[in-house]
Structure 1
Amino acid sequence: MFAGVSLPGVAAADASHDGPDRRLLGVWEVQSLDGADNNPRHPTWGMANTNYPRMAAANYADGLGEPVNAPNPRYISNRVINDTGLSLYSEGNVSQWGFVWGQFLDHTFAERLGRREVSDPAEPAPIVVDDSDPMEFYRTNLGFIPFDRSAIAPGSGIDGPREQINTHSSYVDGATIYGQTEERLDWLRVGSVDGDPRNNNARLLMSADDYLPRRDARGNPDSAPLMVVGSNVPARVAVAGDARANENPPLLATHTLFAREHNRIVARLPRWLSEEDKFQIARAVVIAEQQYITFEEFLPALGVTLQPYRGYRPTVNSSLSNEFATVAYRAHSQIRGDFRLEAEAGRYSPEDLDRLESLGVLIEADGDTVGMTIPLSEDAFFNPDMLELLQLGPLLEGIGRNTQHNNDELIDNLLRSVVFDIPVPENPTCADEPDLPACIRGVNDLAAIDIARGRDHGMPTYNQLRVAMGLPAKTSFAAITGEESEEFPADPLLTAGDEINDPDSLDFVAIYNGDGEPTTPETGDATSAQRRAPLAARLKAIYGSVDSVDAFVGMLSEPHVPGTEFGELQLTVWRDSFTGLRDGDRFFYANDPLLRHVRRAFGIDYRTSLGDLIARNTSVPRSAMPDNVFLTKQREDPTHPWCRWLPPAWCEWLDRHATAAKVEARFVKDGYTRSTHHRVASRNGHAPGWLAGVDARVVPRRSPQGWRRDGAHC
């Protein structure tokens, strides 16, 4: 994927970084914790603490490191990304597991090096907030969104562009569960803490109730590995392989699930194995399970199809690109502002329910069942107590019960405009009392930060990235969004000549469900909507030129490729990146012979669904969950039944021709004939409901675009 890309400032791999060469059962190679030596020819490829390579040339104002002068990120966010309270849901019925797993995966293979981690002086680049902006709906007096630039990679930004460092291994390697250093793993495993995890028990340390251990589990919380903490129970946050595990209850629940799975596998292994061998076998299986779920459930649910696997390719560099990590994998638009679960009322004591209500959880009792709505609020962030109160099984099952938000240009205002208060000496608790001075009020905006981070990292513009990915540049704003016009309409509710600053421009004038039928916000099935002012017109008023559009904003503004959750550019970057993660990983599950040996010798198979994993490690029965927990509505398997016996190339041919024939037959059945004048797909790429899930790439010469119904355009 990035073969031959130079990585300035990266030291050569140290063969002794993980201690002496280890062999599992005296035969099998043990995968390093930090990704080093995964590729023997290029031992630093994919290794932790190496530079992000680039897909395109860096885009800095001075060519070295100065961010480009472009429209203010909060200004853009208020006019493009503000959802004004309307929830649009996934067209493909992707459950909330889409973004929960996405975050769990993100914390496995990517974390930029920030200033705090290297103890360097901060390099602030605050994002100005104009309180007088007519489109600023959240009034504050701080005047800016706090933002610091990422740490600069050593040796960069002098004679060449400024680069950034990925502190994680780029591989899908279970780093969220096991960490990437011997010191962290030593603390996580049952046994002594002496810097050498190999003399510890095979099991991971858990609480008496089988949750992740807290910082004080071994006594002094300050001796525990570094964990990101918030204002909730900072001394008692849970400890995991990744420092960000406590960020929200669903993420922490996923960490907990895999720690339980590790210990479940250890318990199944024979006693004659050494503790170290049992640990490494369980680790190898858990890593393979994470990979298997990613490539067999997560990506297909989002419509990301890859070419068939042909085996390990040592010429492929699996290092995550800066563009993927900084722009294309930013999935904040998919996040809903709450989670919901249903469980037996007898699970919870009155005291537990009172405590949950005090944390902002909405509780509705209905006979023997209790329903809960958990907002992603301050009380939920970095609060492991909430997970234990909710209980692991019901929360994991609930994540798959509800549909995630659509992957579009909108971000829930619970994430886009988080208001916070900074205490003043005369009012340290920010009490709302008439005789006390008001605290300083600020707003945090993930969308504005995403835009600013792209410029901080020298991301290419939208068109520059399209060209780098082999796609043609767009020549108009309407071509970006797929809309018919990029001009503001002559609407009496809009201020002529200043429509971009008119709040009425964001009014939703039409809302549609997944079948393209009109709906209302109350029904909870909206997947697309039309605003008073076209998105293309707003982008044009903000940027002026299509060649100035930020890559992050442009790719989220594209209509979706039918059958996927992505526009063309984002889908292309995902396919390229995940193909590299798969093909350049020597320990990928389809290439690792150890896994076949474990299956034959011990009857332990990594090929498991996420639903099966939840059922094995919680009290939730498998029958309570759908076959594929990544989907709230199950899809028919499009794979031809003969594919289980045929070579991949034959299977591809069968699928392609069978799908094309099926689509054409359905068009004919419904009375459609070919036409070169009509598009069935809407701006958001919606095909008719019965066509959902069909990838346009496998319908050659029979695209759903260009058909019409006899007698009238549909």
Structure 2
Amino acid sequence: MFRLIVAGRCPCHILIMLMLANSLTSQSVASEVTEPELDVRANNNEELDRNYLATLVERFDALAVAAKKEEKEAEEIVASIPTEQIEEALRFGRQYVEEWKQLEQRIAKEDENRFMLRGTSDKNGGTSLSPGAKYSARFSFTRHNPAAMAQSKEAAVDYVARQYLSDRLGIPVAKIGSINRLATSSNATDRQAALPPLTPCDFNSKFRTIDGSCNSNYYHRYGQAGTIFQRIYSYRSYADNVAQFRIGVYGQPLPSPRLISTTIVLNDTVPDPSVTLLTMQWGQFLDHDLTLTPTFTKSDGSAYECCSKPQTGIDVSPLPHPECAPIAVPADDPKYNPVPSSPGVTCMNFVRSTFGKDLDGNIPRQRHHVNALTHWIDGSNVYGSSATHAAALRDSSSFNGKLKVSFINGRQFLPPGPNCCPGGAGAVWPNVCTSICFDAGDDRVNEQPLLTVMHTIWVREHNRIADALYRVAPGQSSDFYYQQARRFVIAEMQHIIYNEYLPVMIGPELAAQVNSPEYHYTPYLNPAIFTEFSTAAFRMGHSQLRSFIRLFQSDGRRDDEQSFLLSNAFNEPQRILNRNFFDNSLRGLLQTPAQAVDHCFADDITSQLFKPTGQKLGLDLISLNIQRGRDHGLSPYVGMLYYLTGNLLQSSSPYNFDQLVPRIPLEVVTAMKNVYASPSDIDLFVGGVSEKPLPKAVLGPTFASIFALQFVNLRRADRFFYSSNVGIDPYLRRNQFAEIQKVSLAKIICDNSDGTITHIQPKAFRVPDNLLNKPVPCENLPGIDFTKLPPL
């Protein structure tokens, strides 16, 4: 990205150069790639080696040590550069960012002028919005995050300065370390953003901090909200080893993500008869506990427009944001341009993610992106990731630490969102606009009704536990009950993930390795979520989605009145207020098979994602996933195969497409040949989601391996992990741990439904089966005996 900027030598052209550098049609020279010379072996019927995960963990740890050595060498190179050259480079970097900020101001002024010319008085949260801005705001997953964007601009100063030095000194930019910390002039550093504030740590406390800090006594910022993700592997992550989108091994631009989507993806239904749709919904809920990557937005939270019209258009806007990277839509696209002779849709909006600083305040040598959430499994989707948000979610009138709820027709629901938007459902809460948005620990709670149901289940569970703790240990403060209930809710979530969810997703053998006692707490491990997991592997749930969501009544009959098409229910959480919707939707999740994880996706997300009311087309989530992977610098699929070389079903990097068979079905490989120039160009999401699954698992070997490495790292790094340090003060007591081990998602659903779910299969992620998973009365399922939890 920045090589083109510096090569221009003229500061007045910086922004133009930036746009060129971000363009998908960039003709940059590819980084030198050396293919690993290994044999190819893939057979998904092979036995899983019992030492596989241990080998992978050892490799990961070794590469982490090597990365620290490289970082030290990069710092030594910087130390050898004369101070005046450092200062000159930083001046150039600051000038670049200043022009960036000026462009944002010009865009804001353009918006203001456009609104005035149209004479609109439309309001959204007090800010006038054009129809186009309203469209992008509707589909904005993240609120305005100025702290993350400020981190990005500070990092950009460093990246531009490094490229400046690289061009002048002939040193590869990837070998130059962080330099802005070495500036000496009074205003040279001018840092625009500090890392998130860090409060003093109390390592004798039983309770986690809300923002994830103070977990590790080795490095207090480990896992803190607002810090960056980490990578498993950086093979061919960026074309310039810093920020520019990866290009093909032959130096050509990679194919358009939309072309890949229409060539490889099928809008078909291939159910997985062994697992329930609940696996999809739990996966989305868990993802919203772990990852949220802010993008660059306008001050009102709406997205920058990278095309001449919101989402689709013909020409790029006269003032595109420098972080725009719009997705090209082919002229003969079967959905967006069904009449090739008159194409009207050539561009899909896409804005890049914010990127930030290392935990020590230095700038990493390539982009690493900001996670707005904590990196732990800590219920932040229920409680929030900041002290301010957590406080807003608590019921200040509660004497026993409950969370806020709304009681509607005698049932507990989430509280209304702080920025409810006008809708057609009518006012439900007094003096609140309407019912179409709820508040929760994660802002995406309103994305679709089944997600809202899951959020509601866990808020009810917190309040149920708080009530029970008050009964068995009365006389304590409200904060005591809140923290204790939160502590046990998090333990329940972790138990479900490691003992119910992972065995289904990655298979019982690999899950057993993840749960092996050899992986004990290790305080020096960085828990930061892997970007390969957040941006590729964990997006596999998009393949599990069903287009038609079937609801079932308590007598087993279909609820045809309330069943719905997913494409018609985005941003309509108010559906859960309808009579019987809550329990009927839970029965649907428990009885309906999920779709198989493969190259087949519902057309609700391949062309109708978040479509505006009354329109036929929306966005393509597959295209967005592919483009986000390139934005986040993911290694290609073949690169991850090389990293995972070992004894789990693959042993090398394939040289031709035919060698991908039988790991990937022949018809998918044939489609890949038609769009990719080389198997080494295949995007990680595309390759990983297309693999045949491991035995008794939902995922194929590559994504299963990333899952295993991610969850074993989260377990090893977490001082508060529910099964770590049991019996040692201040962690779970042995009696408390024994009660948590009784927990199941089935029991939690029973305890927190509206009361009409009386029978349920014990293994909620597996379909009901009269032989192996027969539904039983809810009262027959074991649960926590709260009388056995004290002393607290």
Aligned partner of 1:309: which letter? P
CA contact (8 A) 1:344 1:370 kept: no
**TM-score between the two structures when normalised by the length of structure 2:** 0.61
Structure 1 distance, partners of 2:621, 2:393, is: 32
Structure 2 distance, partners of 1:477, 1:182, is: 51
Match of residue 380 from structure 1: 569
Instruction: Provide Cα deviations, 1:350-396, integer angstroms capped at 9, x if missing partner.
Output: xxxxxxxxxxxxxxx96xx7455633445422222201214322322
CA contact (8 A) 2:537 2:703 kept: yes
Match of residue 536 from structure 2: 327
Structure 1 distance, partners of 2:259, 2:329, is: 8
Structure 2 distance, partners of 1:622, 1:419, is: 31
Distance 1:231 1:289, change over 3 A: farther
CA contact (8 A) 2:591 2:768 kept: no
Distance 1:596 1:340, change over 3 A: farther
Instruction: Provide Cα deviations, 1:110-158, integer angstroms capped at 9, x if missing partner.
Output: 1112113887964222212224246867667332222111123259999
Matched, 1:546 2:679: yes
Structure 2 distance, partners of 1:262, 1:164, is: 32
Q: CA deviation at 1:417?
A: 1.3
Match of residue 97 from structure 1: 278
Distance 1:468 1:485, change over 3 A: closer
Q: Aligned match of 1:448 in 612, 623, 626? A: 623
Secondary structure of the residue aligned to 2:550 is strand
Matched, 1:582 2:715: yes
Secondary structure of the residue aligned to 1:564 is coil
Q: Which moved more, 1:206-215 or 1:255-264?
A: 206-215
Q: CA deviation at 1:54?
A: 1.0
Match of residue 250 from structure 1: 450
Q: CA deviation at 1:329?
A: 1.1
Structure 1 unmatched runs, 5+ = 193-198, 346-364, 423-428, 431-438, 487-533, 638-714
Distance 1:159 1:413, change over 3 A: same
Q: Which moved more, 1:110-119 or 1:379-388?
A: 110-119
CA contact (8 A) 2:383 2:441 kept: yes
Match of residue 239 from structure 2: 61
Paired-residue identity, %: 27
Q: CA deviation at 1:15?
A: 4.2
Q: Aligned match of 2:485 in 273, 282, 292? A: 282
Secondary structure of the residue aligned to 1:394 is helix
Distance 1:454 1:410, change over 3 A: same
Q: How does 1:55-204 map to 2 (within 5 A)?
A: 55-57=232-234, 59-68=237-246, 69-83=253-267, 86-90=268-272, 93-116=274-297, 122=321, 123-133=323-333, 141-154=344-357, 160-191=365-396, 202-204=401-403
Match of residue 482 from structure 1: 662
RMSD of aligned residue pairs (Cα, Å): 3.5
Q: How does 1:630-669 map to 2 (within 5 A)?
A: 630-634=765-769
Matched, 1:205 2:404: yes
Distance 1:39 1:549, change over 3 A: same
Matched, 1:467 2:677: no
Match of residue 397 from structure 1: 587
Matched, 1:418 2:593: no
Matched, 1:318 2:508: no
Secondary structure of the residue aligned to 2:381 is helix
Match of residue 436 from structure 1: none
Secondary structure of the residue aligned to 1:171 is coil
Match of residue 34 from structure 1: 211
Q: How does 1:11-22 map to 2 (within 5 A)?
A: 14-16=197-199, 21=202
Distance 1:65 1:169, change over 3 A: same
Aligned partner of 1:254: which letter? M
Aligned partner of 1:151: which letter? T
Match of residue 44 from structure 1: 221
Q: How does 1:505-654 map to 2 (within 5 A)?
A: 534-591=667-724, 593=726, 600=735, 605=740, 607-620=742-755, 624-634=759-769
Instruction: Provide Cα deviations, 1:80-132, integer angstroms capped at 9, x if missing partner.
Output: 1122xx310115x1100111000000000111121138879642222122242
Q: Which moved more, 1:293-302 or 1:389-398?
A: 389-398
Structure 1 distance, partners of 2:338, 2:489, is: 45
Instruction: Provide Cα deviations, 1:497-527, integer angstroms capped at 9, x if missing partner.
Output: xxxxxxxxxxxxxxxxxxxxxxxxxxxxxxx
Structure 2 distance, partners of 1:107, 1:450, is: 16
CA contact (8 A) 1:109 1:168 kept: yes
Secondary structure of the residue aligned to 2:412 is coil
Structure 2 distance, partners of 1:371, 1:137, is: 34
Structure 1 distance, partners of 2:280, 2:706, is: 17
Q: CA deviation at 1:619?
A: 4.2
CA contact (8 A) 2:394 2:401 kept: yes
Distance 1:314 1:247, change over 3 A: same
CA contact (8 A) 2:400 2:466 kept: no
Structure 1 distance, partners of 2:467, 2:388, is: 24
CA contact (8 A) 1:338 1:373 kept: no
Match of residue 551 from structure 2: 341
CA contact (8 A) 1:65 1:458 kept: yes
Q: Which moved more, 1:316-325 or 1:279-288?
A: 316-325
Instruction: Provide Cα deviations, 1:542-588, integer angstroms capped at 9, x if missing partner.
Output: 11211111111112222222221122211111111111111211111
Distance 1:627 1:75, change over 3 A: same
Q: CA deviation at 1:279?
A: 0.8
**TM-score between the two structures when normalised by the length of structure 1:** 0.67
CA contact (8 A) 2:222 2:526 kept: yes
Secondary structure of the residue aligned to 1:404 is strand
Match of residue 359 from structure 1: none
Structure 1 distance, partners of 2:731, 2:577, is: 36
CA contact (8 A) 1:248 1:383 kept: yes
Structure 1 distance, partners of 2:378, 2:356, is: 24
Instruction: Provide Cα deviations, 1:261-310, integer angstroms capped at 9, x if missing partner.
Output: 11111111232122111111100000011111111111112234331133
Instruction: Provide Cα deviations, 1:163-191, integer angstroms capped at 9, x if missing partner.
Output: 21111111110001100111111111111
Structure 1 distance, partners of 2:665, 2:707, is: 29
Structure number having the greater helix percentage: 2
Aligned partner of 1:466: which letter? L
Aligned partner of 2:546: which letter? R
Distance 1:544 1:142, change over 3 A: closer
Q: CA deviation at 1:11?
A: 6.1
Instruction: Provide Cα deviations, 1:33-53, integer angstroms capped at 9, x if missing partner.
Output: 121121110222222111111
Secondary structure of the residue aligned to 1:342 is coil
Structure 1 distance, partners of 2:207, 2:559, is: 46
CA contact (8 A) 1:595 1:606 kept: no
